[in-house]
Amino acid sequence: DAGVIQSPRHEVTEMGQEVTLRCKPISGHDYLFWYRQTMMRGLELLIYFNNNVPIDDSGMPEDRFSAKMPNASFSTLKIQPSEPRDSAVYFCASSPGPRRNIQYFGAGTRLSVL
Amino acid sequence: AQSVTQPDIHITVSEGASLELRCNYSYGATPYLFWYVQSPGQGLQLLLKYFSGDTLVQGIKGFEAEFKRSQSSFNLRKPSVHWSDAAEYFCAVGASSDYKLSFGAGTTVTVRA
């Protein structure tokens, strides 16, 4: 299995631009999680999906952030408009039910907003 | 809600020496416990997990961890570290009631020759 695949690996953009991060979970996994990692706040859960349905988005910082999962093999995290404080590494993870707590992480997208 | 504390921000250890990383959790019931490792520029890789049963858990890369309910701890150990073990290590706790993990702040391990 190829594991969780994220793209792009690096993204540099200017403040105000729209940013879209992409994730392909491991085939057969029912749960998908988006995290943000920063030096100041560590790893934060932003949102997670079960069977393509958003279950808990309480970690999404602002309305500028949105996430979708149109099918079982693809999810996006969008920031519009982006701000410098959004600079971070964004991870996607997937988990098989019923061992839902075991999460497998992608390599991450390093986002720099100038 | 559950939470995790990793008291050591940074540990330096000599190659071949033993390593122990501390993890304390807060959760009212029996937790699900995990250790992940993150190498520079990489995602998090699962080292080992504890759900129930034997409190001494074996993982990959020669790591083990021991669950101690009385101390609310889940410390990670390795008898003899290799230079490739230099990385950041995260302890995480999950609950049986939901699907989320709470991560500690991480411990960075440096291995000196």
Residue in chain B closest to A57 (alpha carbons) equals B100
| Residue A108 to residue B46, Cβ atoms within 8 A | no
Q: Looking at residue B41, what DSSP letter applies?
A: T
CA distance A29 to A51: 9
Cα gap A46→A51, rounded to integer Å? 17
d(CA A108, CA A89): 6
Q: What is the mean pLDDT of residues B10-39?
A: 94
Cβ of A50 within 8 Å of Cβ of B99? The answer is yes
Reported as a single tens digit per residue, the pLDDT across B52-75 is: 889 999 999 999 999 999 999 999
Residue of A48, A56, A107 lying closest to B43 (CB–CB): A107
Whole-angstrom distance, CA of residue B92 vs CA of residue B4:
7
Give the nearest partner residue to B99 out of A101, A106, A108, using CB atoms.
A101
Q: How confident is the model at residue B1 (pLDDT cuts 50, 70, 90)?
A: confident
Cis peptide before A81 (omega within 30 of 0): yes
Buried b or exposed e, range B83-101, using 16+ CB within 10 angstroms: eebbbbbbbbbbbeeebbb
Q: What does the pLDDT look like over A3-45, one tens digit per residue?
A: 999 999 999 999 999 999 999 999 999 999 999 999 899 999 9
Query: Could you give the angle at the alpha carbon of B50 between the alpha carbons of B47 and B54, nearest 5°?
Result: 120
- How far is B41 from B88, CA to CA, in rounded Å? 11
